[in-house]
Each structure stands twice: as C-alpha cells, then as structure tokens.
Amino acid sequence: MAKIQTKAIYTDIVLIDIINFSKLTSAEQLEIIVFLTKSFKRMIEKMLLNSHTPLSKFIIGYVSTGDGFYCILNPRLKGFGAILGLSFSHFSEHISIRYNYFEGIRIAVHTGEVNEFIDILGSKNFIGDGLNDCARYLEVKNFTISTVMVSDVAYASLKKFLILHKDFNTLLAKRELRKSSIHTFLDKHGNEKKGCLIWLRNSGIINPPNINFNSII
C-alpha cells in the first residue's frame, strides 16, 4: 500500500470540466470521457518523456468528478498548474474536431490544501478545501472557451514560478500570454472569490521543468 501523506498538501489543483456533459446521451458521455481521459493521459506521458520527469514527480493524483477530473500537482511544481491548464486547453481544441457534439472544456486552477486518504477500494484519493475552492472558479459567468480561469492565489503561484524558472517566463512571452482584468464574484455559498482568465495567443503544449527533487527550489 502506498504511503499516505498525513499532513495537508498545499499545491496547485487543475480542474477539467466538460461543458454541458449532462445534456449528452449516456453513450456520448461514455465515449467522450473515455477518449478525453486516454488523450490527456497520452499528452501527459509525452510531456514527461520530453522533460525526463517521472509521473510521481509531476502529478500526485487525479480525482474524478463524473464530468471531468481534478489533477493535483506535486507541490514542488507549485505555479506550473496554470501552464498545465493552458496545455489542456490547447489539446481539447483538437478533440472538438473529432466529436461534433463536444462543446469543449472549462478549466479552473487554484492553489490550496488537499488531504490524502485511502478510499473504500483501497486506492489513494483526495479531499480538501482546495478542491472545493477550485470548483467555485467555474462559476464565473463570463467564462470563455480557450481560456483558463486562475484564482488570485494560483496566479500569485504562477508569478513565483516564473521568477524561479526564467526560461518559462521567456517562453510564455513568446507565446504571448494574456490575462483579463480581475474578476470578483460571490460563489454559491456567498464567499467572495477573485481570479482572472489567462490564455495564449500562440497556444501549444508546454512541458514541465526537469527539477532536481533532491534539492530545495
């Protein structure tokens, strides 16, 4: 059995949500979720191969939501979540070409706390306020396809990441990273949230950095 982290993990969380999933037929739901899962898995495997990074050093877990999934990053890569969200957004545009009923995905990124636990099937799973808060950012009403909704905390994590990894700062400048003004809204529980939409004018898949995990960033 895998060793479980007993302390809360503070890291980036990326939420993928299939637009209007509940309006699809059961056959369409199964078809698109299987294809989306396999496609993103292949994309991540290629990213890891290109960056010479093992999966465990990149992503510590996935949590299914039924109409999408949470992707929880290794805390050593905190700040890369927004960039991973942009890669997911780019890749999803190719999926809509294959399935005409697929309306796209919404992506939210947040930096927050999650806790590991062993579920009833004996598998590692995650809960925590970080997951719940991340989902709240999908409630922004002027969400647009091909953008990623990033919480104010996640955007601060991205800026710190870009200071540490100046080559990524240069790369995002070349790809023309853009951001909206700050969106302030009340979630369904009446709590104030702040965040912004980000996108790349020249989109693409961006590999994670090859970090030496035996050293301190």
The rounded percent of the chain whose pLDDT value lies above 70 is 92
CATH homologous superfamily of domain 9-200?
Answer: Nucleotide cyclase, GGDEF domain (3.30.70.1230)
How would you classify residue 92: left for phi > 0, otherwise alpha for psi between -120 and 50, otherwise beta? alpha
- Taking only the tens place, the pLDDT of each residue in 24-65 is 999 999 999 999 989 888 899 999 888 888 888 899 999 999
Domain boundaries defined on the chain: 9-200
User: Which DSSP letter does residue 118 get?
Assistant: E
Picking from 214, 91, 85, 104, the residue whose alpha carbon sits closest to that of residue 158 is: 85
Rounded to whole angstroms, how far apart are CA atoms 78 and 76? 6
Amino acid (one-letter) located at 141 = K
Q: Is 96 helix (H, G, I), strand (E, B) or coil?
A: helix
- Taking only the tens place, the pLDDT of each residue in 98-154 is 888 998 899 999 999 999 999 898 889 999 999 999 999 998 866 777 899 999 999
